[in-house]
Amino acid sequence: MQTTPHLIWDRHTRLFHWALVLTFSASMITGLSGEMDWMEWHLYCGYGMLGLITFRLLTGILARDYGHFSRFPIHPRHVKAYARGEKQYAGHNPMGSWMVIIMLMALAAQALSGLLTTDDFMFEGPWVYNADEFWISLAGKVHHNNWILLLALVACHIIAVLVYRFGKRQDLITPMVTGRKWLHRDLLTDLEAVVPLSVLRLALLLGSAAGLTWAAVTLP
């Protein structure tokens, strides 16, 4: 039996998710197109991804919805219980929690390595001038190979969403649009209050993420 919908994903989590979808897609298109005229936009997409990752880290620590890192059930006992069907979760399940962590790490590696990457011709990341050849070479290898891992993770994510939608009859897309999720009664004992971010706090976190990203790109 289902209850009334509960707020699970606050607007900052939804904003991050869909902004990342657009930025990552644009980054892949501009980076893999082979068009030199698009490389400048590829750099901007990389800066945008770095800003979004920074924003996600800040909200994962300071915000109060189910995107908070403390609400990620990542302990092995949680994974085992979920795999056995013994436990359900209002927010991310253990598999989803680990996917978020791995995805953030892979995205951070891609964005940061881009700051140290050069094509030795027209474009170079803002950190190249102050780095030695070892780190530039390492970053270049990471940047030119890690995108394959990222596409594989995205494919796994999409497949998982489809499996839940058509196999388990659980809609994961609509809650990421509306923020609200229909929950079974056996989840109500595990619900924790979601405290929405005020517009002011959201603006401050966005500004902080933008400022930190600007500093990372320009100050070195």
What is the domain-level CATH number for residue 137? Answer: 1.20.950
pTM given for the model: 0.91
Q: Residues 54, 209: contact at Cβ < 8 Å?
A: yes
Read off φ and ψ for residue 19, nearest 5 degrees: -65, -35
For 22-44, the pLDDT digits (tens) are 999 999 999 988 787 888 899 99
| Interval 78-96 mean pLDDT | 85
User: What was the pLDDT predicted at 99?
Assistant: 95
For 106-165, the pLDDT digits (tens) are 999 999 999 999 876 777 888 998 889 999 999 999 999 999 999 999 999 999 999 989
| Interval 76-81 mean pLDDT | 88
| Interval 51-60 mean pLDDT | 98
pLDDT band at 179 (very low <50, low <70, confident <90, very high): very high
Read off φ and ψ for residue 143, nearest 5 degrees: -65, -35
User: What was the pLDDT predicted at 120?
Assistant: 64
Note whether residue 83 is domain-resident: yes
In angstroms, the CA 212 to CA 210 distance is 6
pLDDT band at 60 (very low <50, low <70, confident <90, very high): very high
Residue 190 structural domain:
6-218
In angstroms, the CA 188 to CA 197 distance is 22
pLDDT band at 183 (very low <50, low <70, confident <90, very high): confident
Among candidate residues 93, 65, 70, 92, the one with its CA nearest the CA of residue 8: 65
Note whether residue 1 is domain-resident: no
Among candidate residues 209, 6, 16, the one with its CA nearest the CA of residue 91: 6
3-state SS record for the chain: CECCCEECCCHHHHHHHHHHHHHHHHHHHHHHCCCHHHHHHHHHHHHHHHHHHHHHHHHHHHCECCCCHHHCCCCHHHHHHHHCCCCCCCCCCHHHHHHHHHHHHHHHHHHHHHCCCECCCCCECCCHHHCCHHHHHHHHHHHHHHHHHHHHHHHHHHHHHHHHHHHCCCCCHHHHHHCEECCEHHHHHHCCCCECCCHHHHHHHHHHHHHHHHHHHHCC
In angstroms, the CA 25 to CA 46 distance is 11
- For the cut 80, the answer to whether the pLDDT of residue 215 exceeds it is yes
Number of domains comprising the chain: 1
136 Cβ partners below 8 Å, 6+ apart?
116, 117, 118, 128
CA quadruple 154, 17, 139, 38: dihedral sign = positive
User: What was the pLDDT predicted at 190?
Assistant: 62
In angstroms, the CA 156 to CA 177 distance is 20
Note whether residue 111 is domain-resident: yes
